[in-house]
Amino acid sequence: MKIKVTILFLFIVALFAGTLVAEAWVYDFKASNEGDDILVEWRTTRENNLQYFAIERRSGSSGDFYEITRVIPRGSNSYYSYTDKSAYKPTDSFYAYRLAIYEQGGKVNYIKEYGISHSTVSGVRRTWGSIKAMFR
């Protein structure tokens, strides 16, 4: 009888331990220029007990990261994308993005940073150039 209770106890502990483990297997995290915006995207193969993903951005090559949006997990084998329309684009800008994974228990894991140069000519300069061209 004592052996059966011990086995039952171990089975229950193993069952709950398996459900409490939070994890996300993220791959292909990247950012790319999409005209005036920056597209941030990633894929997952496994998601378990996650609260949300947070995309964080930093201006320049050093400094603090700031959360720009949260994304609700959709489950394993998912594709995610976010279009950052708030990345200000002067003549030359460098941004670094990282993905924060928030687990149900409050723990946070970070995916590696991805840096991108966001440096196309702004709309104001294009307009000014067009005006100058009209008077030539």
Work out how many domains the chain is built from and give that number: 1
- Max CA pair span of the chain: 98
- Per the CB < 8 A criterion, the answer to whether 91 and 99 are in contact is no
Which of the pair, 39 or 34, is modelled with greater confidence?
39
Encoding tokens for residue 95?
């941004």
CATH number of the domain that residue 123 is part of: 2.60.40.10
Q: Are 48 and 104 in contact (CB under 8 A)?
A: no
pLDDT band at 54 (very low <50, low <70, confident <90, very high): very high
Alpha carbons within 13 angstroms on the beta-carbon side of residue 135 total 4
Tens of pLDDT along 59-78? Answer: 888 889 999 999 999 999 99
Asked whether residue 41 is domain-assigned, the answer is yes
- Domain ranges, residue 89: 22-134
Residues 67-116 have pLDDT tens digits of 999 999 999 999 999 999 887 765 458 899 999 999 998 899 998 899 88
- 7 domain-assigned: no
27 occurs within a structural domain: yes
9 versus 24: the higher-pLDDT residue is: 24
Pick from 13, 32, 14, 132: which is nearest to 81 by CA? 32
- pLDDT class for 35, splitting at 50, 70, 90? confident
- Chain-centroid distance of CA 87 in Å reads 15
